[in-house]
Amino acid sequence: MINISNYIQKINNNNKKALSIFLTAGFPTKKDFVDIAKNVLNSGADMLEIGIPFSDPLADGPVIQYSSQVALENKINLDDVFEICSEISNYTDKPLILMGYANPIIKYGTKKFCKNSVDTGVSGLIVPDVPLEEFDSFYNQDFSQLQKILLTTPTSSNERIKMIDEKSEGFVYCVSVTGTTGVRNTFDETTFKNLKRTYTTLERNKMMIGFGISNSENVKSFIPYCDGVIVGSAVIKMILEKKEMNEINSFISNLSKACKL
């Protein structure tokens, strides 16, 4: 297991914000996923978030919903996800983070889930439908070896942000806007005010911003208020549109350049 917080700190020490890329496991196929993930890592992604497909992803917009549906049609289950993790962690020293909804995890069994995560080189876990209120009911002792990453949103009060900062490990995932995942064309002033507020309120954790980030300009506008950014739907959309691998690679490498201070 990699200490994600220290890892981000090292990147920041080199005058750079961290770049995390989200991909849905098994999309567009199990094999292509692994190829794309390796390319994404080679092109400058500092971390990989691997989405566990779910039939009812209620925090996700149409693009990730669709990728999830395709992955399920490809019969991807958690055993496949762990095979994928194992293959990628053999390939890279960068952190892997799993992101998935609560139900498939409890159905798989939390003990087995956590053991397989650790064994296949997963460092962190994000469960978007487990907020602070359900933290203790969901994260039993089985999860002790995984860094549990919590989310803040524009509707989180400063008091809540502090409580989230207390519980979160690895980093705090700051959701840029209210809404589901997916590309946004513009971000308004309120968004930046909220990012600044969240960034200054956090005391313990690194902060990564996600949701809606789709290009280098977005990244540049966000980097004063964070330690890193997360891009998901924009990449998945390129895969969906059957863009060439080198086009995806240059997209990632541009994002990575934009992360430099």
Partner 1 sequence: MKNLKYNFPDKFGKYGIYGGKYVPETLISALQELEQLYLDVKNDIDFLSELESLQKEYNGRPTPLTFAKRLTEYFGKAKIYLKREDLCHTGAHKLNNALGQILLAKKLGKKRIIAETGAGQHGVATATVCAKFGLQCIVYMGEVDIERQKLNVFRMKMLGAEVVPVSSGSKTLKDATNEAIRDWVTNVSDTHYIIGSVVGPHPYPMIVRDFQSVIGKETREQILSRENKLPDYIIACVGGGSNAIGIFYPFINDEKVKLIGVEAAGYGVDTNKHCATLTLGEPGIFQGMKTYLLQDENGQIAEVHSVSAGLDYPGVGPEHSLLKDIQRVKYESATDDEALVATLFLSKHEGILPALESAHAVSHLHKLMPQTNEDEIVVVNISGRGDKDLNTIINQIGDKIL
Task: Name the nearest CA neighbour of 126 among 210, 187, 233.
Answer: 210
| Cβ-based nearer residue to partner 1, 117 or 153 | 153
Closest distance to partner 1 from the beta carbon of 85 (Å): 16
Closest distance to partner 1 from the beta carbon of 95 (Å): 22
Closest distance to partner 1 from the beta carbon of 168 (Å): 11
* Active-site annotation holds for 60: yes
Q: Residues 32, 35, 46, 49: which is the catalytic one?
A: 49
3-state SS string for 136-203: HHHCCHHHHHCEECCEECCCCCHHHHHHHHHHCCCCEEEECCCCCCCCCCCCCHHHHHHHHHHHHHCC
Name the β-bridge partners of 49: 22, 97
Distance, in Å, from the CA atom of 188 to the CA atom of 195, rounded to the nearest integer, reads 11
- Count CA atoms within 13 Å of residue 241 on its CB side: 11
Closest distance to partner 1 from the beta carbon of 65 (Å): 6
* Active-site annotation holds for 169: no
| Cβ-based nearer residue to partner 1, 34 or 177 | 177
Closest distance to partner 1 from the beta carbon of 2 (Å): 25
Binding site for partner 1 (CB under 8 A): 54-56, 58-59, 61, 65, 69, 72, 77-78, 101-108, 128-134, 137, 150-157, 160, 164, 175, 178-180
Query: Is the torsion defined by CA of 27, 28, 32, 38 positive or negative?
Result: negative
Distance, in Å, from the CA atom of 32 to the CA atom of 19, rounded to the nearest integer, reads 21
Q: How long, in residues, is the chain?
A: 261
| Cβ-based nearer residue to partner 1, 42 or 103 | 103
Closest distance to partner 1 from the beta carbon of 254 (Å): 28
Strands lying side by side in the sheet with 207-210:
147-148, 122-126, 96-99, 47-51, 18-24, 228-231, 207-210, 172-175, 151-152
CA 117 remoteness from chain centre: 16
Task: Tally DSSP H helices, then E strands, for the chain.
Answer: 12, 9
Q: Residues 46, 60, 80, 165: which is the catalytic one?
A: 60
Q: b/e map of 135-168 (b: 16 or more CB within 10 Å)?
A: beebbeeebeebbbbbbbbbebeeeebeebbebb
| Cβ-based nearer residue to partner 1, 113 or 222 | 113
| Cβ-based nearer residue to partner 1, 145 or 157 | 157
| Cβ-based nearer residue to partner 1, 91 or 138 | 138
Which are the catalytic amino acids?
49, 60
